[in-house]
Amino acid sequence: MTKGLSLFEKRRRRNRTALRARAGTRPRLSVHRSGKHIYAQVIDDAQGRTLASASTLAGHDGKTATVAAATEVGKRVAEAAKAAGVTQVVFDRGGFLFHGRVKALAEAAREAGLEF
């Protein structure tokens, strides 16, 4: 079944499977990181809807592939999630390691009031 998958894709599947097992009814905070940008979404998997989102594409001045930019995105996604009535989420880092920009986004979202 996993023949031919990259290590990144295996890590992503393993992480999502574990999240679904312990998430319950909580939405997930999904993070995607590219070479230039970072994106975050709060997703309700039961309804298949995105409740809140933020990225470095809109509303960010300066360099977008930095820890400071990821921190700003974490704060903005937490504020948008709280405005949508979400305070508890599970953190879905995808196949990305919890380090650098992904870690900065998570810590900023925690400081801004999201619980995970």
Average pLDDT over residues 1-13: 84
Structural tokens at position 100: 């650098």
Residue 32 CA to residue 16 CA, distance in Å, equals 13
Helices (H) and strands (E) in the chain, counts: 3, 4
**Mind listing the pLDDT tens digit for each residue in 56-96?**
998 777 899 999 999 999 999 999 999 999 999 999 999 99
User: CA-based diameter of the chain, in Å?
Assistant: 43
Amino acid at the residue 41: Q
Read off the pTM.
Answer: 0.89
Q: CATH number for 7-111: choose from 3.90.550.10, 3.40.50.300, 3.30.420.10, 3.30.420.100.
A: 3.30.420.100
% of the chain exceeding 90 in pLDDT? 77
Residue 92 CA to residue 29 CA, distance in Å, equals 6
Residue spans per domain, the chain: 7-111
